[in-house]
Structure 1
């Protein structure tokens, strides 16, 4: 059993292969967090909790005259507002009398095999690869007749623990929920100082890793944009100040949600840490009616005592097998070419067929038709919402075009942006009330478009019917789902005034509902997520779309930084990464095809260029690299991922993938800064067997040497030079 309960101490023990998570119900019925860290068997860690009298830290009435007992200083499993804990609460509710005080006490628990479900929200699921177990702890507030269930899903073999929360209003009166975080983690002790890593950015520069020292007070990251955003990812790592890729303690917390979120770190008066994540409570409240239940999104936790690499690998393996779904979650995706940077809006069927003929000769397997195929869409000012084929561009409709492409040996996919509407569209002229817009105010435009009210079933039904009509009209095998703006006008004509503050979450539930309907109805279509590139790269989207366009920035040198940050939580297989033309359309930088391909290979490989304009030499280079990608795809997607340098600081980027059985590895290096009289590039490899010998570019070197002495490479003095090295075990027993 991965979950145990001690009747004598009222302690809960959650064990994975390498970690232990402990909680305890204390004398007064409060649920305390005892320990989360490296696995410890047979030891109750409650001796770590030492009550101390702290000035200005109040005491529950139950404690009598014991001034040492204060919820302001104890480690709490799910802190709430109004019990004398002045740190960040995870739950805040306003009762009918206007009070925001909560008093949650233990009522019972359940332990069962399998993974709990969260209605209408994405979450990890139990797969054939291993069993999961669930713990449900039930807390209650007698005065408010409120019940809170804390769910814990334990994936023991993967060192993953998930958390989720359900709130049930069992009273006869409505209450208002002002805040609900999905998880809060109190850590009382740490050696020295704490650091935390977060992943910030902007459009075209997403998930840039920043490591900062935890300071007293609250450090918060969030999104108010209606999407998880380019600007902050719903992912945090808390670590010891000495933690590296290969050593030291670190905690990961990733919210499975694609909308407005908050996450952060608080260090209190005693240097204790509180780590939290959940729905963003700015401009949010939820009217919880009598008898109603509310489920908060899931949080995925993992702990590593051996550095960031292991933490990342825990997430990678789990997301591939227990978050992504469908036939495409583990297989190699078709090597595609997208026409966007080749043509932008100026294309026709004839143009696409010409591109296809040129592409298929290179070994490319799919053509994706991007923005501009519907309505009267010749620029970004019109037609979103009018999901009907533009017959002037595509005479005869999609069926005729797709049949011709299929006859050439190419699969076909297309771009859609279902959540948006143009003011210059038949849909908006007929249903202006379907757009989010505040009454008596002009709307906030972005990219000349407005946002459809996805909280409305009639809006979702229209989109579903429209898209089904398109998808049923031809042999479409791929859909790129885009979302190209932040949301500002939070008002729905369908909601009452007192529930307008629910709209941001209802919007996200609507998006998930539509995605569930479409992906279930079309299991043979590969859906790729996109939000202006990587603006919604999160676990919530991966549940429906196992592939996400990593960034609109296709410059390989910038992508090194973006993909570096992305790799801390998200697997290579989820990263859509393409080779583009030079000069690059975002930066103007020129790089070799070899470098562009090596960087793009660390993902689902494809192209964003016009193959008709390529030289014979470049065409032959592409053929070779497509062949290499097909050969290496299993180790790229299935191998353990290792970061060997930090491209935000170092003069070169180095990373590798190694099979779990240590039989082979693929090393990638890109020089980012050219030096005169350059030093050798020196890298220490990882993930090999120290007792085995390996073939490395004609040499035989022991795994121990490669991991401890490393490789020294004398590379040409050439701007953005890159090198890829395949390493294979050479032992007689291999």
Structure 2
């Protein structure tokens, strides 16, 4: 049997797709094959036998698995025309091929549907981007239930790592073996969610930060999603991802189409670090674009945990001046500046400056901030409205709700229906007016609740809300190209590649507790580079957990991200100010390395320890943080294996910071007493002995090639 094979190749990866006229099927996804490889023998070497007691023909696990072929698994497409055409079978009618991409056009003439499959393998990062588009060729409407992308993984991918969490506890990871059956994760909250970040990793049993073959997947969508991993009864394995549509939400009218979110995926032969570095490279080159030399990522001060709703312009001026003395470069006024907003039960929707709090307007504060060499930023939560607001009293029909039912409040607020033109125009007008009146260079864009029973034009409206949100943010950025935007949703509730393509930073969590931040920031780092991850020094007594931590531990944890401060600098003690100034200065000295280098995580051998770092692209400098989360398991620590160094270089190893008490050990490892020169191979294989430090503390290490 003759078959055509399409070979997409990047720097380190090959993706081989079978194209024999039926639905395309991935035959190989792994290490790059030599350019001269003859793929024709794959038709023989990878031809599947047909087991007894089953369908009499081979069933392909295609890019959109079809029930019509007798593949009794999770199909890629589910829908019907009022009950008919529910199991379509597509044939490829066209394939447009380049060295890095292929676009298949498939049709089912009986069901009167066209399916377009786009796949691109990014040459530099090895990340695969794929999406599907379903077009209704018929004369009647088609009710779509689900359209998901499907990619196979190797038979040895028997372990999954997935993400879970909640408010103030985002990006937690969990592992499970997948030997039989399936794992399905569904998010129905209408936003990306704190609880179920849309990503999964499938790999060899026991894959680690530095070892093992694995595949990483992330769905770039800011709404509800479904991720499914399955091992079929014949042993084939796959991962499937797509938007989760509510009942009746997506009807494709004649001549119209539905397009899936982009699924980002990659193969890594060298563990989670290899996966992360591929995703980070892709994000830097294709999703966000920062010129770190022209403008380093500015250090923030956000007023929220400093003053909450207690806004006094004279006091805020003091905060701005004190922040500048500490080295802050961007000053953001958070919630509480607009009309009627004295607590979280009123005011949302009335996006007009509260004249009782700011009788002279914002101009004096904006000018003061600029004179101090800082940018000015402002908080908004445009999609929300409080029942106690002038907007709601005037337009209760602007709420995203289902008529006849009582809409539940979440955090004392409703969601506005952005799909109504008058609502969209009102919000754009309010925000555009303020952005035009004042020199506001930054918006912290919040969304503090989920979508519940939201209906527009008598249909579920989660999909439409996300699209309207994208349009609003796009229109504002077009009108104000200098504007930078932070995506925040009660912290980490709306973080994904699609929203990041429109913004410049995300707020990883409302929790500034460094213990929690150690796991939150680690989890986020699997898919996001440090320069887009907001990481702040909070108050010594954490507002969300009630725990107290040392200034040093808070400062070091905030170093590894887009750094900021989240407290009242005026009320800080002189010692706290000195500490903040010290760590802000340290961050600035490391900022280029942190925000342009390759991030890595270390495999540590003792419980309740973790370590991560960044190495420059030329391998000549690195910085590593080792953390003791809880009381040490043993009296002595283990050597820390530092990956990613150049075996041919010698490095000067220097202790930069130690937040642990000096009395915890009688004698520290000798390298901590004076700088030591060590070969990169020794550090990567024998390691660097760590001290047994106090719980909830860290040390910071610098490595420089000599």
TM-score of the superposed pair, with normalisation by structure 2: 0.93
Aligned to 1:141: 108
Q: Which residue of 2 aligns with 1:491?
A: 455
SS state at 1:636 partner: helix
Q: Distance in 2 between matches of 1:87 and 1:376?
A: 54
Which one is further off, 528-537 or 287-296?
A: 287-296
* CA displacement 1:648-701 (0-9 Å, x = unmatched): x83222111001211000011222123498313521111211111111121111
Indicate the residue corresponding to 2:6 in structure 1: 12
1:251-266 pair list within 5 angstroms: 251-266=215-230
Shift of 1:407: 2.6
Helix, strand or coil at the partner of 1:614: coil
Q: Does residue 729 of structure 1 match 2:687?
A: no
Q: Distance in 1 between matches of 2:537 and 2:253?
A: 52
Deviation at 1:284, TM superposition (A): 5.2
Contact 1:481 1:527 in 2 (8 A): yes
- Aligned residue pairs total 681
Q: CA deviation at 1:327?
A: 6.4
Is the contact made by 2:242 and 2:261 (CA closer than 8 Å) also made in structure 1?
yes
Correspondence 1:534 to 2:499: no
Q: Does 1:150 align with 2:144?
A: no
Residue 98 of structure 1 corresponds to 84
Q: Residue 668 of structure 2 aligns with which residue? A: none
Measured against aligned partners, the alpha-carbon deviations of 1:351-381 in whole angstroms (never above 9, x if no partner) come to 2112112211111122211111001100011
Counterparts of residues 142-541 of structure 1 (less than 5 Å): 142-181=109-148, 183-187=149-153, 189-191=154-156, 194-283=158-247, 285-325=249-289, 331-492=295-456, 495=457, 497=458, 500-501=459-460, 503-541=461-499
Structure 1: give runs of 5+ residues left out of the alignment: 1-6, 59-66, 114-132
Q: Deviation at 1:138?
A: 0.8
Task: Give how far 1:538 is off.
Answer: 1.0
* 1:325 Cα deviation after fit: 4.6
**Cα 1:296–1:23 shift into 2, 3 Å:** same
Q: Which residue of 2 aligns with 1:48?
A: 46
In structure 2, what is the equivalent of residue 711 of structure 1?
688
Check 1:646–1:284 CA distance in 2 against 1; reply closer, same or farther (3 A cut): farther
The answer to whether structure 1 residue 571 and structure 2 residue 529 are counterparts is yes
Cα separation, partners in 2 of 1:81 and 1:421, compared to 1, 3 Å: farther
SS of the equivalent of 1:578 reads: strand
Alpha carbons of structure 1 residues 282 and 96: separation in structure 2 relative to 1, 3 Å = closer
Runs of at least 4 residues off by over 4 Å? 325-331
Distance 1:391 1:678, change over 3 A: farther
Unaligned regions of 5+ residues in structure 2, if any? 655-674
Paired residue secondary structure (1:361)? helix
Displacement after TM superposition at 1:582 (Å): 1.5
Q: Within 5 Å, which residues of 2 pair with 1:659-678?
A: 659-675=616-632, 678=635
Between the aligned partners of 2:520 and 2:303, the Cα distance in structure 1 is 23
Report the CA distance between 1:32 and its aligned residue.
Answer: 2.5
Does structure 2 retain, via aligned residues, the 8 Å contact 1:262–1:277?
yes
Residue of structure 2 aligned with 1:625, choices 583, 592, 610: 583
* Pair 1:599 & 2:557 matched: yes
TM-score, normalised by the number of residues in structure 1: 0.89
| SS of 1:695 mapped into structure 2 | strand
Helix, strand or coil for the counterpart of 2:143?
strand
Q: CA distance change for structure 1 residues 472 and 646 in 2, over 3 Å: closer, same or farther?
A: farther
Is the CA contact (8 Å cut-off) linking 1:284 and 1:504 kept in structure 2? no
Q: Deviations over 1:130-174 (max 9, x none)?
A: xxx431111110102211110012211211111011111122222
Question: Aligned residue for 2:678?
Answer: 701
- In 1: Cα distance, 2:163 partner to 2:32 partner: 28
Write the distance in 1 (CA, Å) between the matches of 2:194 and 2:146. Answer: 24
Establish whether residue 634 from structure 1 lines up as the match of residue 597 from structure 2: no
- SS of 2:613's equivalent? strand
Do 1:177 and 1:287's aligned partners in 2 also have CA atoms closer than 8 Å?
A: yes
Q: Any conservation in 2 of the 1:92–1:102 contact (CA below 8 Å)? A: no
**Aligned residue for 2:696?**
720
Report the 3-state secondary structure (helix = DSSP H, G, I; strand = E; otherwise coil) of the residue aligned with 1:613.
coil
